[in-house]
Structure 1
């Protein structure tokens, strides 16, 4: 009986993590969607890369959705909040141009990668299905971070201002999502 309870607790935690990750992917898709819209005028050289990143995030969102469906778990209550927040963040940073777009991606992905690595550690040996799904996206999230970091000048105003604000906002949304 104790072993079943332990497995159920791990499954509940895995489900909660997957729900928040799924909502986060909705936010990421909308960040890129809005940045693509704005970057056509402010940073046309980034549009192709942003489209590639958006396609990755759409695939990640679908992976999480499929696992939630397999588990019979509803999506996170923060799903639409993440989507709207992502759209607003993408519009603002897209309007601000190339450096703001790249600094935003670096800040978001830095936080996301930290959480994904922590999730993999926490769920290892407890919820292997969740570990498999999360593991599938880490490399692409790292690619988004690294390629965007190659566009960022650390002395640029957007790197200094947006990095901490976007990172704190991302942490806050994850914290909230885990509690909704």
Structure 2
């Protein structure tokens, strides 16, 4: 009986994680939508890379969406909040150009990668479908992080200001999503 209860609790955690990851990917798509819109004015050289990153995030959202559908679960209640917040963040950071865009992606991806690693540890051996979905996106998220890190110059104003704010905001959205 205890094993069944433990399995149900793990499945509930897996469901919640997949829901929050799905909402997060929706937010990421909208960050890129806002940044692409503004980068056409402020950082034209980044538009093609941002478009490629957005296509990765669209694929990630589809992976988590398919897993939610397979599980018979609705999207997270924070889905639309993530989308709206992502768009606002993308528009504002895109307005300030290439370094700000890169600093934002670096901050978001640092938090996301840490959470994905934790999720894989917690779900390993307990929810293979969730592990498979999460594992399918890690390398592209790492690519976004590493590419952005190479564009951010240490000691510049924007990374010092934005990285802590965006990181804390991303953590707060994940925390909220896990509780809604």
> For the superposition of Structure 1 and Structure 2, which TM-score range results when normalised by the shorter chain?
over 0.9
Residue 3 (structure 1) shift: 2.0
Q: Say whether 1:120 aligns with 2:120.
A: yes
SS in 2 for 1:150: helix
Spell out the pairing of 1:34-113 with structure 2 (5 A cutoff): 34-113=34-113
Gaps of 5+ in 2: none
Distance in 1, matches of 2:12 and 2:71, equals 10
Distance in 2, matches of 1:123 and 1:107, equals 25
Query: After TM superposition, what 4+ stretches of structure 1 lie above 4 angstroms from structure 2?
Result: none
Distance in 2, matches of 1:107 and 1:46, equals 17
Alignment partner, residue 167 of structure 2: 167
Distance in 2, matches of 1:46 and 1:104, equals 13
CA deviations 1:84-115 (Å, max 9, x no partner) are 00000000000010000000000000000000
CA deviations 1:134-157 (Å, max 9, x no partner) are 000000000000001111011111
Residue 8 (structure 1) shift: 1.0
Distance in 1, matches of 2:83 and 2:76, equals 12
Q: Say whether 1:24 aligns with 2:24.
A: yes
Distance in 2, matches of 1:10 and 1:125, equals 10
SS in 1 for 2:153: coil
Distance in 1, matches of 2:178 and 2:167, equals 17
Alignment partner, residue 179 of structure 2: 179
Distance in 1, matches of 2:71 and 2:133, equals 13
Paired residues, what number?
180
RMSD: 0.5
Residue 9 (structure 1) shift: 0.9
Q: TM-score, normalised by structure 2?
A: 0.99
Q: Say whether 1:150 aligns with 2:158.
A: no
Gaps of 5+ in 1: none
SS in 2 for 1:73: coil
